[in-house]
Amino acid sequence: MSVVTVTVLSPAEKVIYLIFYHAIFVFFTWTYWKSIFTLPQQPNQKFHLSYTDKERYENEERPEVQKQMLVDMAKKLPVYTRTGSGAVRFCDRCHLIKPDRCHHCSVCAMCVLKMDHHCPWVNNCIGFSNYKFFLQFLAYSVLYCLYIATTAFSYFIKYWRGELPSVRSKFHVLFLLFVACMFFVSLVVLFGYHCWLVSRNKTTLEAFCTPVFTSGPEKNGFNLGFIKNIQQVFGDNKKFWLIPIGSSPGDGHSFPVRSMNESQNPLLANEETWEDNDDDSRDYPEGSSSLAVETET
């Protein structure tokens, strides 16, 4: 008769395993909660057409006059990106001039600041308000799956050696290891992709569609360098990088851009602070007022 021996963890090892497990699990659930319940941020009121302007715009039948109306309104706003045809980006569903990096989400039925994508796994739109939480959720998910897979692997080895006496425990170990490894592989690929996006200061939409500035398309227009790109998502204070609390700089309506030829793109040289009142004005280079404007759906 063969004797099966099963190694039992010491109390100290059990305590260490439990501490690490629950620490990872708390951050995993915390970031998941924040990703789900942090509402997408919408453009503030100064980007919306006023009741009078909206009425004028809708009642105007001449397209060229509509275009000029939007051009005049865009001059008062810190808006520098354009559509592929060089037009001012306007949402005819929300009736607003889109801030830079803002897009309309058809699922949420609203414009979302610095929209990255709509995620069905968290049933929420990922953008400026919750992109940091989404990245942290992916990171802690990867760590959670890795921890489960590594702690279950030793029991998987015992299964192959015939050291697990219970048939039921064999199934549990195999299932747990398989699921953990499967989710780990898929999540690490997704997390790696978003790490690449953060390192380039891009959103998923910008990775597939190059942003267009007043000077033309520029795929690296928001790339400030590796460290500054990370700070654009996680903030300047490193002690908040791992904690799911809001620390992203700015208000989501305007973003710094990399150094370019200032004579070609004045937005990259102008560091003027924009106020919230409608009387603010901005000097544009010669010819900028002739930009074509069309609605973007």
Same domain, 219 and 80: no
Q: Are residues 32 and 89 in the same domain?
A: no
Same domain, 209 and 146: yes
Provide the token pair at 72.
Answer: 């005049």
Same domain, 128 and 242: yes
Residue 291 lies in a domain: no
- What's the order of all strands across the beta sheet hosting 89-91? 96-97, 89-91, 294-296
Based on the fold, state whether residues 160 and 244 are members of the same structural domain. yes
The full length of the chain comes to 297
Same domain? 62 vs 3: no
**What integer pLDDT is reported at residue 174 of this predicted model?**
84
Among the three residues 102, 122, 142, which one is the final residue of a domain in this structure?
Answer: 122
Q: Is residue 265 part of a domain?
A: no
Shared-domain flag, residues 15 and 156: yes
Ranges of residues in the chain with a pLDDT under 70 are 1-9, 163-168, 259-297
Rounded-to-integer distance, Cα 56 and Cα 261, Å = 38
Q: Are residues 224 and 234 in the same domain?
A: yes
Tell me if 148 sits within 8 A of 161, measured CB to CB: no
Residue 99: HSE in the Cβ half-sphere, 13 Å Cα cutoff: 22
Which are the catalytic amino acids?
119
> Within this chain, do residues 162 and 233 fall inside the same structural domain, yes or no?
yes
Q: Confirm whether pTM is higher than 0.85.
A: no
Are 28 and 131 contained in the same domain?
Answer: yes
Comparing CA positions, the residue from 95, 85, 127, 120 lying closest to residue 216 is: 85
What pLDDT digit, counting tens, does each position of 73-117 carry? 888 899 999 888 888 899 989 999 999 999 999 999 999 999 999
230 located within any domain: yes
What is the pLDDT at residue 152? 87
Whether residue 101 sits in one domain with residue 82: yes
148 and 181, same domain (yes or no): yes
Q: What is residue 12's predicted lDDT score, i.e. its pLDDT?
A: 86
pLDDT at position 154 is 81
Residue 116 pLDDT: 97
Q: At what angle do helices 226-234 and 131-160 cross, to 10 degrees?
A: 100
The total number of structural domains in the chain stands at 2
pLDDT at residue 36, as a whole number: 96
Helix axes 11-37, 131-160, angle to 10 degrees: 150
The predicted structure's pLDDT at residue 270 = 41
Work out whether the CA dihedral 125, 130, 136, 140 comes out positive or negative.
negative
Q: Could you tell me the residue range of the domain that residue 61 belongs to?
A: 45-122
Residue 8 pLDDT: 57
Q: Is 26 left (phi over 0), alpha (psi -120 to 50) or beta?
A: alpha
Residue 272: inside a domain: no
